Chain A
């Protein structure tokens, strides 16, 4: 394990972490504010990827625009989910909300197959990002640096949004005490819709971001959700910085795991989760 290998693999792990971070951020925000865990979060990632593919390749749009539009489209789907379905069952047992989102998982999986077919889809690399940069003497993909950049940018944006704006204050207030916020005049139903779509947008962005380097297939929705759950639980459900930490841990572990424990990969993720929960039941940074 040379220093070069550590740095290089670490950066790879960091870029992996960013995808997870975007996903976990959305999931944890939605939970923190609405108290709902969206099983279809992974499906939104999938749809984001598919949308980006369609915008970028089929419709030949600009890459940046495709990413943005794909994220927005994911947000729209999230909006529809919340406004016309989830909203009617908030008063019910948590199980029903989970079940509802699971129903969406099934629907989205087949919808993807109907619209995009079963063949793995991948667009060309955007030229501007299609090169390598020498890091510790080895070629490192520029695209991975781009992903890291987006992840950090989104972190900064989220921090600004939630900490420095009045809307953000409203969101945080509603997350800690819904009734009080409502009593103070916050339009809770509308806030829920906005936050849920925002979370969906983040998930879709994560999927869209991966489009040029990850092929989209209809089964991705159900496989991605496990990692996201683990990341969120490790960090603490409802805890945004926790989601970042969790994503970092899992991303780096996946990357270093390949070097250090080539045979253990998948199992390591669960082991970490089990250990964290054994000693810090509410997650590393504490959750709701």
Chain B
């Protein structure tokens, strides 16, 4: 009761946020009503949202632009695939994928975080492509360019506790939804924690942070690893969806997707990457109906965003829509 009263007294933004949050939850829960194609699309959007939130932890909150997150996505995906092909346990596959991605992120991160800005971006891109070429060449393990196919969408099993079959796309969609929400929530907690504050401090002023005795490199590496874990989870969730893993998910052009999604939705906000991921897919699906030149369309949108709407959709809403609503409400004697 206390929180309800507080809610009614709270500002417009908080109330809208609460209402919208509820509406979003309902929307995502009823997605399966709209058929396989919509489920498929939404599942992909959710996975990209997690992928982008991980990227954004590095970018907006730590000040590091990584163009190689696909590497960890791919490691997560491939390890999950390899596990699932051997042992039909979804849990094991996902956990294995996440852990593997984290380990690889730790190693690559160690080599990259001592560099800044542009070197960092180019290094992550190059290491990402290195993973891509390993996947391509190591045919015995990864299947090369054929990839790993026939990966079973194994049941979610905790021995002794539960066993849920995942062959049904709807079931698996809910699994993806659950894990994506958990993953995003985990990163939200990180951002809100003292670790998050330290990272933002590093983003804003390295020297100040070093001055108070903290190791910039160590914190960057932590952030990089967390982002890697998130990317790995996203990849591990993607593979059982299509039941295949292929080198395309390690390509640098795929690394660009969370970057674009974040810019679209609004960098320097937490929700931006989530909004952007949904927009990214919706825009592409709509564009593809009208023209084959979706790349050019996306490119023009990117240009427009960078030049005009840098805060992304979220900031457009914050700066333009909200004041409008505030004014309306005040006019009506809110």
Which residues of chain A have a CB within 8 Å of any CB of chain B?
Answer: 31, 35, 37, 85, 88-89, 92, 94-96, 98-100, 102-107, 109-111, 113-114, 222, 226, 229-230, 232-233, 237, 263, 266-267, 270-271, 273-274, 277-278, 281-282, 287
Contacts and interface: CB of A to CB of B under 8 A. Distances in A.
B133 A89 contact: no
Contacts of B67: 98
A229 B125 contact: yes
A175 to B, nearest CB: 14
A105 B299 contact: yes
B123 interface: yes
A102 B129 contact: no
13 contacts: A95-B121, A100-B306, A102-B259, A102-B260, A103-B306, A104-B299, A107-B296, A107-B299, A107-B303, A229-B125, A232-B122, A266-B133, A281-B119
Given A110-B293, A229-B126, A232-B122, 10 more contacts: A94-B65, A96-B310, A102-B256, A103-B300, A104-B303, A109-B295, A114-B293, A226-B129, A237-B122, A267-B133
B108 to A, nearest CB: 9
B118 A226 contact: no
A100 B307 contact: yes
A278 B253 CA distance: 25
A102 B300 CA distance: 10
Contacts of A113: 293
Contact of A233 (B119, B300, B301): B119
B127 A274 contact: yes
B111 to A, nearest CB: 7
B263 A99 contact: yes
Given A85-B303, A104-B299, A107-B299, A226 B137 contact: no
Given A110-B295, A226-B252, A274-B127, A94 B307 contact: no
A233 B126 contact: yes
B91 interface: no
Interface of B: 59, 65, 67, 111, 114-115, 117-119, 121-123, 125-127, 129-130, 133-134, 136-137, 252-253, 256, 259-260, 263, 267, 293, 295-296, 298-303, 306-307, 310
A99 B295 contact: no
A63 to B, nearest CB: 31
Contact of A95 (B59, B115, B129, B300): B59
A270 B130 contact: yes
A113 B294 CA distance: 12
A183 B310 CA distance: 30
B133 A270 contact: yes
Residue of B117, B121, B301, B302 with most chain A CB atoms under a 10 A cut-off: B302
B114 A281 contact: yes
Contacts of B121: 37, 94-95, 98
A281 B115 contact: yes
Contacts of B307: 85, 88-89, 100
A95 B306 CA distance: 10
Contacts of B115: 277, 281
A85 B59 CA distance: 23
Contacts of B259: 99, 102
